[in-house]
A and B are shown apart, each in its own frame.
Chain A
């Protein structure tokens, strides 16, 4: 009797989640998966085919964009990590505890406005007639304004900026649990700053680093707004190819195929990352 009640209770509370997952995520994906294996023949009928996937491999622009997106996403993840680690270390270990909360709020503050507004903020700063150019000209460092937008470096800057918080927060939470005396003990035993970083801090922080990296990598890979606005037409981000197929070419079948390729890519990279760092998903998600 009690057991039955328990099961019913579990079902009751899980139902919304399961329903939501099924209706909003699983069903559309099944539909997309089916769509990606179908094309329209000359008579306008939908038939089964691998053509959509073949197109991807036959047309260099597609797979080059794909590879470029993957490599840049990994680069963005790495850069975000390189910037986030010292920030997190500073907040957890260097500043006085009473300022920690304040600094965290400072980190969070930019995320209270939407990504769109933040990206436009960067554009105001970086464009040819923008704030930075204006001051560089005034200071006499530049003879004529340069266009800082629509470059790969600018796009990466934007992506790193957008991802920062998602890396800093998990690293802060793991560094919080790092006993200061471990750092002092290593220092006392003759280690220098770099050894402490690589032998003590990073090994301890690995679960947080990996979980932050997964989030940042996935967000970056699937980002549409920032590459599009800050990288412009040159950005060649794979999400734009998907967008083009769905909206511009109205070729939903091709678009679904691209979407699934991106999903496979992110799954493989995350799996590789976990294998390389010898972490498992269960530990990282905790």
Chain B
């Protein structure tokens, strides 16, 4: 597979603040790559360095095998879709899309044809003469994408372009963007702080925190087997216990939590008895009133504090009988659990394969 974008050991320092710290990754031709991180983690700086709008302090960027260092943004085969789209209000839709083609010196006939083709591709036939402020949010979005795609860039960079849209439209655009990417086959590098955007659309996701990549993986792996506590907490919801290893072998450990419970869980890290650990558990890993015949379950009783109804994403807010740790438990909307009321006592069980266990941060290094 051809590598479209290769970033090696790139760093960016502002005065004494390290915005991007020694980041390396590769993006294959035609794939959808997301960089997911909280705001201020350096993801925008990273994207701007790829676009050429910010000079890296150290490291190299290669696009289709050619080094991009010292090449100004107007000469790079990448285009950036800005957070607020940056459509030119002084031009109509057609002129906006033709802007890059004109700069390249294409003939008028070629420009008109390309603009018409790309408008068709983003389902905006006949919008060429409209003014930018006559468009809806979703239409502006598509114009911004068309304006970049018409130049056939090697890599299309997207800086949280869905951030300004309302929820319904965002959900819709997520799917549309993914479909569009599959259709045109351009390599997308997408940055966002919204995990659902990253998980839904991407082939690969890099989770970024404080200037470094914590993990680069497929969305499934990020969710199911996070490499670091940060990834476990940032991607999806989690219940957290702190505890100490009582005994362990290569694959499983017995953990005594601070609230006095003992759990058995799988481990993927070399641990010693006595190690301080954090244990993460997805809300959907907890089974409500599990069948008595199921083996390998950690079982305990909880009191339901509240029912958080949110359609398919409904949860139970509960706490263990003798502790006040708050737990989120997925509540499938299959009418099977309709009998559960506030202040009910129910049994909870989770499989030892679904626990995610990490050595406590302070004890590392």
Residues of chain A having any CB pair with chain B under 8 Å: 179, 181-182, 184-192, 195, 199-200, 203-204
| Complex: A195 Cα to B53 Cα, angstroms | 17
Residue with the greatest number of chain A CB neighbours at <10 A, chosen from B75, B91, B103:
B103
Whether a CB of chain A sits under 8 angstroms from the CB of B108 is no
| Complex: A195 Cα to B90 Cα, angstroms | 14
- CB pair B82–A181 under 8 Å, yes or no, is yes
Q: Tell me which residues across on chain B come within 8 A of A200, comparing CB atoms.
A: 88, 90
Contact pattern, B 34-73, Cβ under 8 Å of A = 1, otherwise 0: 0000000000000000011100000000000000000011
- CB pair B82–A192 under 8 Å, yes or no, is no
Q: How many A-B residue pairs have CB under 8 A?
A: 60
Interface magnitude class on chain B: 20 to 34
Whether a CB of chain A sits under 8 angstroms from the CB of B147 is yes
| Complex: A190 Cα to B77 Cα, angstroms | 9
Whether a CB of chain A sits under 8 angstroms from the CB of B151 is yes
Contact pattern, B 138-157, Cβ under 8 Å of A = 1, otherwise 0: 00000000011001000000
- CB pair A192–B90 under 8 Å, yes or no, is no
CB of B191, distance to nearest CB on chain A (Å): 15
Contact pattern, B 77-112, Cβ under 8 Å of A = 1, otherwise 0: 011101110101111000000011001100000000
- CB pair A186–B53 under 8 Å, yes or no, is no
Q: Tell me which residues across on chain B come within 8 A of A203, comparing CB atoms.
A: 90
CB of B27, distance to nearest CB on chain A (Å): 18
Q: Tell me which residues across on chain A come within 8 A of B289, comparing CB atoms.
A: none
- CB pair A184–B74 under 8 Å, yes or no, is no
Q: Chain B residue with minimal CB distance to A206?
A: B90
| Complex: A192 Cα to B72 Cα, angstroms | 10
Q: Tell me which residues across on chain B come within 8 A of A185, comparing CB atoms.
A: 80, 82, 86, 88
- Besides the contacts A185-B86, A190-B74, A195-B103, what 5 more A-B pairs have beta carbons closer than 8 Å? A184-B82, A189-B79, A189-B100, A190-B104, A204-B90
27 pairs across A/B with beta carbons < 8 Å? Answer: A181-B82, A181-B83, A181-B84, A182-B86, A184-B73, A184-B80, A185-B80, A185-B82, A185-B88, A186-B88, A186-B99, A187-B72, A188-B51, A188-B52, A188-B74, A188-B78, A189-B99, A189-B103, A189-B151, A190-B75, A190-B103, A191-B103, A199-B88, A199-B90, A199-B91, A200-B88, A203-B90
| Complex: A243 Cα to B74 Cα, angstroms | 56
Q: Tell me which residues across on chain A come within 8 A of B79, comparing CB atoms.
A: 188-189
| Complex: A199 Cα to B98 Cα, angstroms | 13
Q: Tell me which residues across on chain B come within 8 A of A182, comparing CB atoms.
A: 86, 88
Residues of chain B from 3 to 59 with CB closer than 8 A to chain A in the complex: 51-53
Q: Tell me which residues across on chain A come within 8 A of B73, comparing CB atoms.
A: 184, 187-188
CB of A236, distance to nearest CB on chain B (Å): 41
